[in-house]
């Protein structure tokens, strides 16, 4: 079975549905938890890299000491052609690692159930409108020079992009379970009504997430 190294930045932002889906698709997942003192390796120890979200900013090096190492790991993965998936904070870290810019979003936080429009489909993202969970305050304001924009929303232009052939950044979440999103709302003191729609659209979210998980696993395993 192929192996994916997973960098998790916070206890409440784990793999969600991916914890079950990816192993079922022949891609084993091996999370490391640098907030608990785990070492971030210099190169990917495995066949793929997944970098998850978190409440910190992509440039908060003064308070989050493992971020420089994570960006270096992402840059090495790009150079080595390792299939890579950055989700939310992971997408922002990937952008900075490749020469892009991340800043506080001018349109304010984007939170709760929403959609993104795929402007260019590829091996990871299918055509059309995807139901997703948004949960971010920062955004990629400048893509890396060699990045390809893949998806946008009404609030923010950069919702998904690809760097090189096999490194993707998703500003949104497709792995998040309703329980995870409720935890985020409690953590961020957000009105729970923002979370309620997730419960009613869980099937759509699961279908979209499962499709992307399957596509990523297929990219890794061939």
Give catalytic residue positions: 88, 173, 175
Query: Residue 68 is encoded by which pair of tokens?
Result: 């420089």
Residue 133 vs residues 3, 86, 160, 202: alpha-carbon distances, Å: 26, 15, 13, 10
Both tokens of residue 151? Answer: 């998806």
Residue 111: name the closest of 148, 143, 156, 147 by CA: 156
- Three-class SS state of 72: helix
Neighbours of 50 (CB within 10 A): 26
Give the helix/strand (H/E) hosting 179.
Answer: helix 178-187
CA pair distance 98, 86, nearest whole angstrom: 12
Number of H helices, E strands in the chain: 6, 11
Asked if 18 contacts 205 with a C-beta cutoff of 8 angstroms, the reply is no
Does residue 133 contact residue 155 with C-beta atoms inside 8 Å?
no
């Amino acid at each position: 079975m192929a192996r994916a190294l997973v960098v998790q930045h916070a206890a409440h932002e784990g793999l969600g549905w991916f914890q079950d889906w990816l192993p079922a698709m022949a891609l084993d997942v091996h999370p490391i938890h640098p907030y608990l003192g785990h070492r971030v390796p210099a190169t990917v120890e495995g066949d793929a890299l997944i970098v998850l979200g978190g409440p910190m900013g992509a440039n908060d090096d003064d308070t989050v000491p493992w971020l420089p190492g994570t960006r270096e790991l992402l840059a090495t993965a790009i150079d080595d052609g390792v299939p890579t998936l950055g989700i939310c904070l992971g997408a922002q870290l990937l952008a900075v690692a490749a020469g892009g810019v991340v800043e506080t979003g001018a349109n304010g936080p984007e939170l709760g159930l929403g959609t993104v429009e795929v402007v260019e489909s590829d091996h990871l993202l299918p055509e059309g409108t995807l139901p997703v969970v948004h949960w971010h305050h920062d955004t990629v304001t400048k893509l890396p020079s060699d990045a390809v924009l893949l998806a946008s929303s009404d609030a923010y232009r950069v919702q998904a992009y690809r760097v090189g052939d096999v490194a993707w950044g998703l500003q949104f979440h497709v792995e998040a379970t309703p329980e995870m999103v409720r935890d985020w709302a409690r953590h961020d003191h957000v009105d729970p009504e923002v979370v309620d729609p997730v419960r009613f659209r869980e099937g759509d979210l699961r279908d979209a997430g499962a499709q992307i998980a399957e596509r990523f696993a297929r990219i890794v395993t061939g």
